[in-house]
Structure 1
């Protein structure tokens, strides 16, 4: 059961309903993940926009799904592994290839480089994200510094 209520066509407000109907029209379904994001139409629009921009890049649909599978497995996201297994199959990936991708490998030499690089990249992004979060909370809360204080300097 979802920890956050999903937005359905029955519970959606006008703005949410328009977004859900657009997704239904494009995909033939509305994934539950997007129904969760629909709790914030702004967040859903941002995600859909980023997804659209990313899909215009140079990576093939197969490579994008290979990377998604590697990252989902590394982050222990059962929903994402399930979704990207189905999406990967639609792009033509075999079950054997999908299993390799989940282990940060590939039967295709060129794709193996991309999925192998995805693992350390996720760790780097995790650390950057964690530090941005702590920076923003520290600034917003003006928490008392309980370490030896170091003054900020202007960037060169």
Structure 2
């Protein structure tokens, strides 16, 4: 059960509606998902989080699908069901296939397994993997 009730568009303050409008325009949708509606209780957090997400998830050196795949991987590792669902939907819109999702989950599982083994065994980093002086 959520800690706070969502604030739908119709009940939002002008400050919150401005963020909601930007979210809908940027994403090309006509609705606001539950994450943003719950953050709306603290408009400064809503605005800051949206601005950061919008900037970070915009195309750059990494394409949008790659960014969504990374977001899914971190969300799986952190156990965030909401983020797994929302970013898997976004990744599918960006071209992720069912086979690709299966492969991604295999990589996430393998990375978590080997990370645990390395951490548990306290394996030192190979000198060859260290960055070279520039």
* TM-score of the alignment, normalized to the shorter chain, above 0.5: yes
Deviations 1:58-115 (Å, cap 9, x if unpaired)? 111111011111111111111111111110101101112123223435xxxxxxxxxx
Query: Hey, what does 2:39 align to over in structure 1?
Result: 37
Query: Hey, what does 1:49 align to over in structure 2?
Result: 51
Could you say what secondary structure the match of 1:74 adopts? helix
Q: Runs ≥4 in structure 1, deviation > 6 angstroms?
A: none
The alpha-carbon distance between structure 1 residues 66 and 95, as it changes in their structure 2 partners (threshold 3 A), is same
Query: Hey, what does 1:26 align to over in structure 2?
Result: 26
Unpaired segments ≥5 residues, structure 2: 116-134
Alignment of 1:7-156 (within 5 A): 7-27=7-27, 28=29, 29-54=31-56, 55-105=58-108, 116=111
Could you say what secondary structure the match of 1:15 adopts? helix
Provide the TM-score with structure 1 as the length reference.
0.61
Deviation at 1:56, TM superposition (A): 4.3
The alpha-carbon distance between structure 1 residues 104 and 71, as it changes in their structure 2 partners (threshold 3 A), is farther
Query: Hey, what does 2:123 align to over in structure 1?
Result: none
Which of the two has higher C-alpha Rg?
1
Unpaired segments ≥5 residues, structure 1: 106-115, 121-156
The alpha-carbon distance between structure 1 residues 104 and 38, as it changes in their structure 2 partners (threshold 3 A), is farther
The alpha-carbon distance between structure 1 residues 73 and 11, as it changes in their structure 2 partners (threshold 3 A), is same
Could you say what secondary structure the match of 1:104 adopts? helix
Provide the TM-score with structure 2 as the length reference.
0.70
**Contact 1:7–1:36 (CA under 8 A) maintained in structure 2:** yes
Query: Hey, what does 2:2 align to over in structure 1?
Result: 2
Q: 1:95 and 1:80 mapped to 2: Cα distance? A: 18
